[in-house]
């Protein structure tokens, strides 16, 4: 989907990073930080999707939403919801969705480390978790949103036989993902090629291709 940058100008100071506290569950923090994303136990899908249906696809860490918008445009019969911890991309992306009348797309300002209590069990066809912040330093790894609790939630919300999609251009992160999934033991994990992947390209994937940076894509089937 081509975005008119004059009609939808990006914020001048859209930062890639945000406060580290936003990557921890609120219950683990001594006090609620300023600008911490809201918590939800239930959502009224009528307020998020113009077609008033629940989501079929989750794009966790959707950023500026290139994949989300392209997927929504190419799959009008599927509802896709983006989840993003930074508020600026959410505000901008919401303006695009509303302006282009995409009735099957929505975006939520939220930190996935707090779980997905507003998503029904076994209701989701696909979960995308693509090119997350690697948090390279050892002391920062605890900020990675992909952990045992998050995997449990992804498994819970996915339908039987549905798929979790992962991607990273950092070999250590790929190993980290695969080790966690192996220990969890309830996903069949396969490395994907272009044919089996079949998803719109993300901004990060486009960058990696341009710069000849290797990356790995994993398709994790719920067993």
For the annotated catalytic residues, the residue numbers are 133
CB atoms within 10 A of CB 176: 18
Q: CA 219 to CA 159: how far, in whole Å?
A: 15
Of the candidates 19, 189, 219, 212, the residue with the CA atom closest to the CA atom of residue 128? 219
Distance separating alpha carbons of residues 106 and 160, to the nearest angstrom:
24
β-strand partners of 165: 128, 219
Given a contact cutoff of 8 angstroms between Cβ atoms, the answer to whether 79 and 55 are in contact is: yes
CA dihedral 143, 140, 213, 81 (to 10 degrees): 10
* Under 8 Å between Cβ of 221 and 163: yes
Strands (E), 22-61: 57-60
Q: Which residues contact 34 (CB under 8 A, 6 or more apart)?
A: none
């Amino acid at each position: 989907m081509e975005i008119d940058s004059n009609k939808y100008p990006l914020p001048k100071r859209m930062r890639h990073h945000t406060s580290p506290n936003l990557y921890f569950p609120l219950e683990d923090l001594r006090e609620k930080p300023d600008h911490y994303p809201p918590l939800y136990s239930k959502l009224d899908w009528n307020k998020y999707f113009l077609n008033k249906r629940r989501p079929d696809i989750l794009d966790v860490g959707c950023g500026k939403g290139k994949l989300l918008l392209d997927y929504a445009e190419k799959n009008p019969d599927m509802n896709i919801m983006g989840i993003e911890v930074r508020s600026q991309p959410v505000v901008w992306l919401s303006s695009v969705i509303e302006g282009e009348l995409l009735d099957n797309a929505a975006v939520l300002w939220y930190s996935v480390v707090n779980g997905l209590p507003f998503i029904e069990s076994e209701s989701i066809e696909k979960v995308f978790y693509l090119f997350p912040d690697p948090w390279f330093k050892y002391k920062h790894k605890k900020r990675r949103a992909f952990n045992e609790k998050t995997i449990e939630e992804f498994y819970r919300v996915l339908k039987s036989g549905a798929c979790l999609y992962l991607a990273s251009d950092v070999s250590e992160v790929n190993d980290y993902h695969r080790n966690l999934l192996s220990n969890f033991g309830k996903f069949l994990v396969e490395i994907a090629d272009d044919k089996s992947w079949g998803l719109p390209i993300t901004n990060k994937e486009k960058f990696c291709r341009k710069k000849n940076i290797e990356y790995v894509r994993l398709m994790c089937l719920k067993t």
